[in-house]
Each structure stands twice: as C-alpha cells, then as structure tokens.
Amino acid sequence: MKALQHFLTITRHRHQVMKLCFGVGLYRQGLLHDLSKYSWTEFSVGAKYYQGDRSPNDAERQDRGVSYAWLHHKGRNKHHLEYWVDYDPTRQKLLAGAKMPVKYVVEMYCDRVAACKIYHKDAYSDSSALEYFDKGRSKELMHPESAALLRDMLSYLAEHGEKATSLYIRKEILHNKR
C-alpha cells in the first residue's frame, strides 16, 4: 500500500512540475524531471519510508543516519542545488555552491512550488514556497546569484500569482538566457 501511495505522490509531483515547466517553456526538463525517483535505489526507499506529508528521504536519514536515496537523487538531477556544491575555489570555506545555469534554477523553482502544492495540499498558497525557502538553510549553500534568482521568482509568485509568474519567467528570465 505504501508503495502505491508513494508512486502516486511522486507521479502527482512530476505532473505538477511538468505543468509548471511547460508554462515557462522548459518542455524537455518538464518531461525528464525526477525520473530517477522511479529507479529501484530511490523508489524502494520512498516506499519504505512513505508518510505523505514530507520527503521519505528525511525519514531514511533519521533512521539510518544518511539518505542513500537522496545521495543518488541529487547526483543525477541538476535542478538540486546540492548537485552544484563543490570545494570552494577561493578556499574561504570548505564547500561552496557553484553558479547554476538559469534553466536549472527555473526548474528548481518549479520543483519547489510543486512540492509545496503536494505536501501542503489545501493549505498551499502562492507564498508557501517563498516561506519555505526563507525558513530553510538551502540558500546558505547556494551560489548567491542562484539564490537571488530563485528568491526573485518565489517573491514574484507570492505577489502576482502563478500565471503572471510563468509569463515573467518565460519573458524576463529565460528569454535568450538558456
């Protein structure tokens, strides 16, 4: 039963991301988004730790001390900031986020909005993803320009809604910047 619920959750998430990606013109990324979640490495963990209101990777991490599914996932999906973390070339700190290509920051935006819709359900609002970003620590690892771009899109969503934000991303952010 948990395997079916997990399958339905990741499939709903993929469809939400697909819709958002198509809305901004990222058709290929929409179609290919998170396909690794259907691999045995990720799917088996997702089914085992499925809860429905948060990522199964968090539960695996709590249980095992590490999430092998997450390590697999982030290494194959360029829309995750962790894919872009490397040793800091300035040596000011151990690790630093590299600047992400714009199309992957946009896919990250789509991913975060879709995840909030799936996990928050009826409590979702256009400000949910911005609130989650502002409370989280992910911006500490991201390249400052990538973090600023993501926050800009999430802020625009909170202020103007999804349809206007998709148009803004398509015309102002992605136009001639892929």
Whether 178 shows a pLDDT value over 60: the answer reads no
Whether 176 shows a pLDDT value over 80: the answer reads no
Q: Which residues pair with 87 in a beta bridge?
A: 95
d(CA 46, CA 8): 11
d(CA 28, CA 102): 15
pLDDT recorded at residue 139: 84
User: 3-state class of 51 per DSSP?
Assistant: coil
Across the chain, what does the average pLDDT equal? 94
Using pLDDT thresholds of 50, 70 and 90, give the confidence band for residue 54: confident
Range name among 45-54, 73-82, 146-155 with the lowest pLDDT average? 45-54
pLDDT recorded at residue 143: 96
User: pTM of this prediction?
Assistant: 0.93
CB distance 89 to 155 below 8 Å: no
CB distance 100 to 128 below 8 Å: no
CA 151 to chain centre: 13
Q: Max alpha carbon distance in the chain (Å)?
A: 49
**CA distance readout (Å), 153 to 72, 110, 113:** 27, 10, 10
Whether 177 shows a pLDDT value over 80: the answer reads no
d(CA 57, CA 142): 20
CB distance 17 to 111 below 8 Å: yes
Using pLDDT thresholds of 50, 70 and 90, give the confidence band for residue 138: confident
pLDDT recorded at residue 157: 98
Phi, psi for 171 (deg, rounded to 5):
-85, -35
Range name among 23-32, 100-109, 137-146, 163-172 with the lowest pLDDT average? 137-146
